[in-house]
């Protein structure tokens, strides 16, 4: 791709971007949210027509006017949100639009045999007739990769492929990528997880503000240099430093239980403390947070805040008691995507933003402006729909509504998932600011460097139980956490 230009009304998304991918190479495409990565990939996929620039495949110029033309040329894109139909089987999803038929009827036996062969090549134990809604995220990803192989793809783009995978699933994905690489397939790998990039990529290309800012082989790139190229400024520490505070317990949870998901969980969070709750996906971390917030009904357990026993039967009760939750899936649980940034900010604050049953729009705008400036939320105007904002700005809007609610306990579930390195740093600073003001933070994260860099204490869960506590997070290692997580 050479000199690719693309503009939208009021936005110049790509400014002469160039990218070179070789057969059997894994190229990491890096940049903050809004840097132009998604637009560039959509040009390659035929979803966007470039305003200028050229694309060559094996030295021959190509012009993709539709995704179908791009696919026929051997290019497959696996987006972060999979293009699968949940009610159809793995086989049906693989062959959707490319059905094998005989005398006008779908040849299920032939499709089943091919699907089984594809899964075997990928080392995946998947029954081709299993509905996709019953597959794990890693298995659904395997179906997407099988679709690409069926189309004889020579270039596969993976957008945030490990966002919802466990460490063992990430290792399995890397094995699949290495297998693809050995077959001469070029892979464009997009991720905000820097550790993964240095582990799997052969080379790195960095975009910032719609333009190339550099690229080289991975061996020539350092972590600090990559971060600096992405954000456009020097960062002394990836995780801002803070002196841990020793304070009295504030939120106390005792004997929390719900089926096999959460089994007799007890812990406390101090005033001005960041307590990390970690473990493998499915260990019960998110389920614990939902019980505290009243999103799920608990079978047993007691929750105290500042010595007072709380009766929490719903999120409304939790909010009334100044507990806020930033859910792991902000798009479906934390925001109303079709509504504006201001409207989302106002939702849990209508009690003080309304008069006689009507929202006081001027008061709401004024309140939102305060937090928009404080959190550095980047948006053209307050009526911008949140679905059109970057992941970092979406997360800040979720945080803004809880800060306006004057929450004293904040539960952050995967606070930086899908957020670029620059926005991550800003969120880390906000967490430090919150605990400096005496608030209590319960943080759930799958990113172990993040846990070690932010937390004062660490609790590790496995199969619904707390299997261990690390009192001094600063002195711990990732191996210490994993030893407790896989008991």
Q: pLDDT digits over 51-66, tens only?
A: 999 999 999 999 999 9
Using pLDDT thresholds of 50, 70 and 90, give the confidence band for residue 11. Answer: confident
> In whole angstroms, what is the distance from residue 416 CA to residue 422 CA?
11
C-alpha count within 13 angstroms, C-beta hemisphere, residue 303: 22
Rounded Cα distance between 41 and 262, Å, is 41
More confident position, 419 or 155: 155
C-alpha–C-alpha distance, residues 290 and 353, integer Å = 26
**Taking 70 as the threshold, does the pLDDT of residue 31 lie above it?**
yes
Q: pLDDT tens digits, residue range 435-483? A: 999 999 999 988 888 899 999 999 999 999 999 999 988 889 888 888 8
pLDDT by residue (tens digit) across 362-394? 999 999 999 898 888 888 889 999 988 877 788
On the question of pLDDT at 165 being above 80, the answer is no
Q: Which two tokens stand for residue 310?
A: 């709380």
**Whole-number percent of the chain with pLDDT over 90:** 55
Beta partners for residue 252, in sequence order: 268, 304
pLDDT in tens, 395-410: 889 989 998 988 999 9
Q: Which helix H or strand E contains 165, and what residues bound it?
A: none
CA distances from 434 to 267, 429, 449 (A): 20, 9, 20
What ranges do the domains of the chain cover?
Answer: 2-231, 249-485
Task: Find the radius of gyration of the CA atoms of the chain.
Answer: 24
Is residue 146's pLDDT more than 80?
Answer: yes
Q: How far apart are CA 466 and CA 289, in angstroms?
A: 13
Task: Determine whether 359 is exposed, middle or buried from the number of CB atoms within 10 Å of its CB (0-12, 13-18, 19+).
Answer: middle
Give the model's confidence band at 487: pLDDT under 50 very low, under 70 low, under 90 confident, else very high. low
Pairing assessment for the beta strands 409-413 and 323-326 based on DSSP bridges: parallel
Q: Which CATH number fits domain 2-231: 3.40.50.2020, 3.40.50.720, 3.60.15.10, 3.40.50.300?
A: 3.40.50.300
Average pLDDT taken over every residue of the chain? 89
pLDDT at 246: 66
For residue 313, count other CB atoms closer than 10 A to its CB.
Answer: 10
pLDDT of residue 234 exceeding 70, the answer is: no
- Residue 313's Cβ-side half-sphere holds a number of Cα atoms within 13 Å equal to 1
Looking at the predicted structure, is the pLDDT value of residue 6 above 90? yes
Banded model confidence at residue 194, pLDDT cuts 50, 70, 90: confident
Please list the residues that pair with 440 across neighbouring strands. 409
Q: How far apart are CA 6 and CA 42, in angstroms?
A: 11
Q: Is the pLDDT of residue 188 over 90?
A: yes
pLDDT score recorded for residue 87 = 93
SS3 assignment for 17-53: ECCCCCCCCEEEEECCCCCCHHHHHHHHCCCCCCCEE
Lowest-pLDDT range, 161-170, 179-188, 290-299, 314-323?
161-170
Region 83-96: mean pLDDT is 92
The continuous run of DSSP H or E covering 108 comes out as helix 108-121
pLDDT given at position 1: 97
Higher pLDDT, 360 or 392: 360
Say how far apart CA 416 and CA 396 lie, in whole Å: 10
Architecture of domain 249-485: 3-Layer(aba) Sandwich (3.40)
Mean pLDDT of 24-39: 90
Reported confidence tier of residue 235, pLDDT bands at 50, 70, 90:
low
Cα-based distances in Å from 65 to 8, 12, 18, 301, 486 = 17, 20, 19, 59, 49
Q: What percent of the chain has pLDDT over 70?
A: 98
Answer yes or no: are the C-beta atoms of 73 and 57 closer than 8 Å.
Answer: yes
Q: Is the pTM of this model over 0.85?
A: no
Average pLDDT over residues 264-269: 96
**Which letter does DSSP use for residue 373 in this model?**
H
pLDDT band at residue 338, thresholds of 50, 70 and 90? very high
- Say which DSSP state 295 is in: S
Strands 2-8 and 52-57, bridge-based pairing:
antiparallel
Domains 2-231 and 249-485 share a fold: yes
Cα separation of 370 and 388, whole Å? 21
Under DSSP, the state recorded for 198 is H
């Amino acid at each position: 791709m050479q000199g690719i230009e693309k503009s939208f009304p009021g936005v110049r998304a790509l400014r002469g971007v160039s990218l070179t991918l070789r057969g059997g190479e894994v190229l990491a495409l890096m940049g903050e949210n809004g840097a132009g990565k998604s637009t560039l990939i959509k040009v390659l996929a035929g979803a966007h027509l470039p305003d200028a620039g050229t694309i060559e495949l094996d030295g021959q110029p190509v012009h993709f006017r539709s995704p179908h033309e791009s696919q026929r040329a051997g290019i497959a894109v696996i987006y972060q949100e999979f293009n699968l139909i949940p009610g159809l089987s793995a086989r049906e999803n693989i062959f959707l639009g490319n059905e094998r038929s005989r005398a006008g009827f779908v040849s299920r036996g032939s499709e089943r045999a091919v699907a089984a062969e594809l899964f075997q090549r990928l080392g995946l134990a998947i029954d081709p007739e299993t509905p996709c809604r019953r597959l794990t995220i890693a298995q659904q990803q395997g179906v997407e990769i099988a679709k690409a192989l069926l189309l004889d793809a020579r270039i596969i783009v993976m957008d945030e492929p490990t966002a919802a995978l466990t460490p063992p699933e990430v290792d399995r994905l890397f094995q699949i990528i290495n297998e693809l690489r050995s077959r001469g397939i070029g892979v464009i790998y997009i991720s905000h997880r820097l550790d993964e990039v240095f582990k799997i990529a052969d080379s790195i290309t960095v975009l910032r503000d719609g333009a190339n800012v550099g690229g080289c082989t991975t061996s020539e790139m350092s972590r600090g240099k990559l971060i600096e190229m992405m954000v456009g400024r020097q960062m002394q520490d990836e995780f801002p430093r803070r002196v841990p505070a020793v304070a009295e317990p504030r939120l106390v949870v005792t004997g929390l239980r719900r089926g096999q998901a959460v089994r007799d969980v007890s812990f406390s969070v101090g005033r001005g403390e960041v307590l990390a709750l970690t473990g493998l996906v499915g260990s019960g971390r998110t389920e614990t947070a939902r019980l505290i917030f009243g999103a799920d009904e608990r079978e047993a357990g007691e929750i105290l805040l500042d010595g007072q026993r709380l009766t929490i039967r719903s999120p409304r009760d939790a909010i009334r008691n100044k507990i806020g939750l930033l859910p792991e899936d902000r798009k479906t649980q934390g925001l109303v995507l079709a509504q504006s940034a201001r409207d989302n900010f106002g939702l849990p604050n209508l009690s003080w933003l309304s008069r006689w049953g009507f929202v006081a729009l001027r008061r709401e705008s004024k309140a939102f402006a305060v937090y928009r400036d404080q959190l550095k939320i980047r948006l053209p105007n307050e009526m911008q729909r949140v679905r059109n904002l970057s992941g970092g700005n979406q997360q800040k809007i979720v945080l803004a509504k809880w800060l306006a609610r004057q929450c004293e306990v904040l539960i952050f579930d995967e606070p930086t998932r899908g957020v670029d390195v620059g926005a991550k740093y800003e969120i880390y600073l906000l967490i430090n600011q919150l605990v400096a003001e005496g608030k209590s933070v319960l943080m759930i994260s799958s990113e172990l460097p993040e846990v070690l860099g932010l937390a004062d204490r660490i609790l590790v869960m496995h199969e619904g139980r707390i299997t261990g506590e690390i009192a001094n997070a600063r002195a711990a290692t990732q191996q210490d956490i994993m030893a407790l997580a896989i008991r």
